[in-house]
Structure 1
Amino acid sequence: MLSDYTPTEFTHDGKTKPVYVRGHGPAVIVIHEIPGITPNVTRFADWVVDAGFRVYMPLLVGEAGRDVSVGYVLKSLATICISREFHVLASHSSSPVTDWLRALARHAHEEAGGKGVGAIGMCFSGNFAMSMMMEPSMLAPVLSQPSLPFPIGAARKAALHVSPEELTCLKDRCAKGGKLLALRFKGDVTSPGERFETLRRELGDAFEGIEIDDKYANPKSPEPKPHSVVTEDLIDEDGQPTKEAAKRVISFFVERLKTA
């Protein structure tokens, strides 16, 4: 499914990572979930391309194009837990990889042009789009099942995995017209409802949260419980809540990046 994408590399501050690029129009950075760029992550990216955007898919962990399996998930999870680029238990600081992602956003904006850049993070990367708001070109941040910090204890369940400086920037930009969209399944304990409550309290009307009943998850998903809203647990049929959520993400990109 990646055959239509151009494999490139992007380097910032001495760190080089693969990036898969496709499409024309304003840039949207699609940041994969655990275990990596799976076929269903690529399917979602294809929908963004079809809507008239230039997609940049960085590979942060795992292998590009490999299917989901239990062993593959565990291997990728172990990688992020020990990597210095990801701080999986940090409540009030972001993962260091977000600095590289902000630089990628600047590069994508310079290359693709337009009003600005959008980004969607999923699962372990779900919170990253908030940190990326420190980059002025980031106009359309989306959080899909944001799972960091790992929700061990009440404080971490409600935490946002951003630094105080990043949260202040996010709130300031939202006060000036910025918006943030987030998605989760209602029963997802890895992306707890307390996190959405924090976002509503901190951002007010600038926050749009979509919470889907678990019964609408794909029954054929490899996930043990409903989790991946726009990928593994999505039912690809119009009218299905997960498919409508994916459509809302794309319309959010259109509103923020294309509408005058």
Structure 2
Amino acid sequence: MVWRDDDLADFDARRCTFEGKEKTVYVSGSGPAVLVMAEMPGVGPQVIRFARWVRDAGLTVYLPSLFGRDGAVPDAEEAATIFRAACISAEFRALGGGQSSPVANWLRALAREAHHECGGRGVGAIGMCFTGNFAVTLLLEPSVIAAVLAQPALPLDNPAGIEASAQELEAVRQRIERDDIEIPAYRFAGDHFCRAERFAAYAEALGPHFKPHVLADDSANSDVPPFTANFVPTPHSVFTAHLIDAAGEPTAAARDAVVAYFRDRLLG
């Protein structure tokens, strides 16, 4: 498949300022809000496609730009530059684990604003790869009532690490037990960046409300964009680059399950 730049013409581009920092957020749809947090190398066509699926299910998508060139399909060199810049940015904790990224505070403020604007029972969130764990720490914001983890990749240097402090994880566990919030999580079995050790760590930290789903490697799409082809040696991106949008495909079924989860939690 030939991926081309997406102009996001069906989204409203807004400049939002929280925590003293201004970022672009793309908004589209109607109904309760869902934050879709992009994976590397940014808000590209595959992430936008997923956001449209969520929007078309009767929800309002908030797509914050956290890194990269919005709408673009960068070549391998540009994508590598984006990745390196994010790894050294003060907004992200790419290495080490044991603490959440500072940008999580900004995202919680965005969730509060999205709930104020859209109303409903609450807000949903999905994080992917570099942003995967953000969906967990967003649950520290009371308005967030649904969270999905897609191949959480941080910290990069510790396969069993979690990008959150023990205190944050305990607070999240108490919240999801009190409010009966399940956290679906997805990865491919042979994923190099999100390994079995990470899901085991989440299960230990969050208990039975953490719901892991592991897809077979041979269910992944092999026709992928330049960044994935050059820097991701194993199946990884369940809902974007490695998704096969066809009936009977496990990745398409996983997507449909996530959309249904958001509808159930947010619309009842």
Among 157, 177, 185, the alignment partner of 2:159 is 157
SS of 1:4's equivalent? coil
Q: Describe the superposition over 1:68-120 as per-residue Cα deviations: whole angstroms up to 9, x where unpaired.
A: 43123201111111110011113110010000000000000000000000011
| Offset at residue 229 of structure 1 (A) | 0.6
Structure 2 residue aligned with 1:170: 172
Q: More deviation in 60-69 or 126-135?
A: 60-69
SS of 1:158's equivalent? coil
Q: Aligned partner of 1:213: which letter?
A: A
After TM superposition, the structure 1 = structure 2 runs for residues 133-148 of structure 1, keeping only pairs within 5 Å, are: 133-148=139-154
Q: Describe the superposition over 1:189-221 as per-residue Cα deviations: whole angstroms up to 9, x where unpaired.
A: 101111111222233321111111111110212
Q: Aligned partner of 2:118: which letter?
A: A
SS of 2:221's equivalent? coil
Distance 1:234 1:66 in 2: 19
Distance 2:202 2:208 in 1: 10
Q: Does residue 183 of structure 1 match 2:174? A: no
Structure 2 residue aligned with 1:22: 28
SS of 1:236's equivalent? coil
Structure 1 residue aligned with 2:267: 258
SS of 1:157's equivalent? coil
Q: Structure 2 unaligned runs (5+)?
A: 1-5
Q: Given that residues 130 and 166 in structure 1 are in contact (C-alpha distance below 8 angstroms), is that contact kept between their aligned partners in structure 2?
A: no
Q: More deviation in 197-206 or 209-218?
A: 197-206
Q: How many residues align?
A: 255
Distance 2:207 2:234 in 1: 30
Distance 1:98 1:41 in 2: 19
Among 218, 222, 227, the alignment partner of 1:219 is 222
Structure 1 residue aligned with 2:241: 232
Q: Cα gap change, 1:244/1:68 in structure 2, threshold over 3 Å: closer, same or farther? A: farther
Q: What TM-score, normalized to structure 2?
A: 0.92
Q: Aligned partner of 2:182: which letter?
A: K
Q: More deviation in 165-174 or 35-44?
A: 165-174
SS of 1:110's equivalent? helix
Structure 2 residue aligned with 1:205: 208
Distance 2:113 2:96 in 1: 28
Q: Describe the superposition over 1:106-158 as per-residue Cα deviations: whole angstroms up to 9, x where unpaired.
A: 000000000000011111000111111110011111111100000x2xxx211
Q: Given that residues 131 and 166 in structure 1 are in contact (C-alpha distance below 8 angstroms), is that contact kept between their aligned partners in structure 2?
A: yes
Distance 2:236 2:143 in 1: 29
Q: Describe the superposition over 1:167-189 as per-residue Cα deviations: whole angstroms up to 9, x where unpaired.
A: 01110012111211111111011
Q: Structure 1 runs of 4+ off > 3 angstroms?
A: none
Q: Does residue 195 of structure 1 match 2:201? A: no
Distance 2:61 2:77 in 1: 28
Q: Cα gap change, 1:67/1:111 in structure 2, threshold over 3 Å: closer, same or farther? A: same
Structure 2 residue aligned with 1:244: 253
Q: Given that residues 104 and 134 in structure 2 are in contact (C-alpha distance below 8 angstroms), is that contact kept between their aligned partners in structure 1?
A: yes
Q: Does residue 82 of structure 1 match 2:88? A: yes
Structure 2 residue aligned with 1:5: 11
Structure 1 residue aligned with 2:3: none
Q: Percent identity?
A: 45
Distance 2:153 2:166 in 1: 19
Q: More deviation in 47-56 or 189-198?
A: 189-198
Distance 1:204 1:100 in 2: 27
Distance 1:175 1:65 in 2: 38
SS of 2:212's equivalent? strand
Distance 1:161 1:84 in 2: 14
